[in-house]
Amino acid sequence: MSQQDKVIYFFGATGDLARHKIWPAIANMYRSNECFRIVAFGGKGPQPESGFNQWLKDVLQGQDIDIDAFAERIDYHAIDLLDHEAPLPVTLNESQTSVFYVALSTHLYRPLLERLSQYLPTPNCRIVLEKPIGTDLQDGLEIQKKLRALFTEDQIYRIDHYLGKRTVQNLLALRFANSIFEYQWNQKYIDHIQISIAESKGIDERAAFYDNIGALRDMVQNHLVQLLCLVAMEPPASLDPEAIRNERVKVLRALKPLSSHDVVRGQYTAGSIDGQPVKAYREELQESTQKNSSRTETFVSLKAEIDNWRWAGVPFYLRTGKRLPTKCCEIVVQFKTVPHPIFQNQKTFGSSNRLIFRLQPEESIKIELFEQTNEDRKSVRPSKLSLDTHELYGSSMDAYERLLLDALNGDPTLFVREDEWSEAWRWVDTVLKEWEQTATEPFSYMAGTWGPTQSISLLARERRTWEDPNS
């Protein structure tokens, strides 16, 4: 197979996501001797000062790669998608696999699709779209209509890079390759589930983009919802992509409508992380956009409920935020206490068995159990069984690399199907609308803390507490 047989048309090639995630992933694919060529498109705005190749060298600095040889695979073009007269160097033919990788701001999706319609995508074309697709459900559905006029559903790859993380896939293996969990995996034995994606970083150079999006669209509607589906779904009949996606979408359809009463949104004020002072969100925003007020949320926590036989009455608490104390993603499955505790001190621990999947920064799976203390046969103490997947298997292929390879090879399993995507939008859309209409301010939280106090109350009102990672 030659490089000409697979072409990636990369839109948004000089953006923040491209710099931090996509180019490093493509460079890894190149190092692994994958055959492909890239046509990269950047905007017509200010160009990398020293030219694209030098920019790319800076981006890939420190990577073990012959950048000059890698750059020979890339044609770079600065284009204005809104200028319909300007030619778009896209050449499609039946014998070539072409992947359009779209990492643009969502308002450019329509103009791009209009431009692509001039090229009549061939059956072996695929389009990979970054989220969010649309600014709300209605907008997303309109973009979707344009997409479907050009591509069939099996050519559309909606990317959610969390689905490409090894631990996320391991979650399926753990649930469906072992029988010991399945019998306890329901409302009879599970008290509640917490899913947290915490980040210590702020909005970096993405202020303008982020301020139009906010945490609900950026993290909840996609990453958190997908993790929830994997934890809650029924066993699929096989690993066939559609079998898995069918089960994921059933969870989304069973989600109880989200009420703003069960959602806390926050925005960080100045504080400190790891002993270093950090600025407030509004200050960072003003420095890069001159905007001095904003109601955009940088934190969301919420209670989700799934109305089905397995999960009736089991709350799923989800939370995500920027400028939290640490970067970490964890899923905590909290089991119910034993019906009749016979060890005298067991009640004092206030919680029972827990299964903790840590997705990042390091991957691990822990089960918290009680065991007898040496000193007293009538007392127990909590201890941990731990599977350190990172130590066992070393670092894994980056999620973006895995997903890009899947898109090139035509495997949609780890991508989001249209019905999953629209159900996830539908679920958050009412709350987004309510926030817009009531124009209420988000709650404040100091950078370096676990969010607004209202987030703690969300659980406290149900006599539960957040399991803060590293605590």
- Name which of 268 and 311 has its Cβ closer to ligand BG6: 268
Which residue from 225, 235, 245 is spatially nearest to 172, judged by alpha carbons? Answer: 235
- Name which of 218 and 406 has its Cβ closer to ligand BG6: 218
Residue 252: CB atoms within 10 Å:
23
CB of 98 to ligand BG6, least distance (A): 25
Which residue from 362, 325, 295 is spatially nearest to 201, judged by alpha carbons? Answer: 325
Give the separation between CA 192 and CA 186, rounded to whole angstroms: 10
Give the separation between CA 412 and CA 245, rounded to whole angstroms: 10
- Name which of 15 and 315 has its Cβ closer to ligand BG6: 15
Which residue's beta carbon is nearest to the bound ligand BG6?
218
- Name which of 218 and 401 has its Cβ closer to ligand BG6: 218
CB of 348 to ligand BG6, least distance (A): 36
CB of 320 to ligand BG6, least distance (A): 9
- Name which of 25 and 67 has its Cβ closer to ligand BG6: 25
- Count of residues engaged in binding ligand BG6, rule: CB under 6 A: 2
Catalytic residues: 223
- Name which of 121 and 469 has its Cβ closer to ligand BG6: 469
By CB under 6 A, name the one of 191, 218, 297, 423 that touches ligand BG6. Answer: 218
Place of tokens 């009749």: 340
* Distance from the first to the final alpha carbon of the chain: 51
- Name which of 156 and 403 has its Cβ closer to ligand BG6: 403
CA distances from 94 to 3, 39, 79, 90, 113 (A): 15, 18, 25, 13, 20
CB of 231 to ligand BG6, least distance (A): 17
- Name which of 139 and 199 has its Cβ closer to ligand BG6: 199
Positions in 181-200 near ligand BG6 (CB under 6 A)? 199
CB of 29 to ligand BG6, least distance (A): 18
CB of 399 to ligand BG6, least distance (A): 7
CB of 360 to ligand BG6, least distance (A): 6
CB of 218 to ligand BG6, least distance (A): 5
Interface positions with ligand BG6 (CB under 6 A): 199, 218
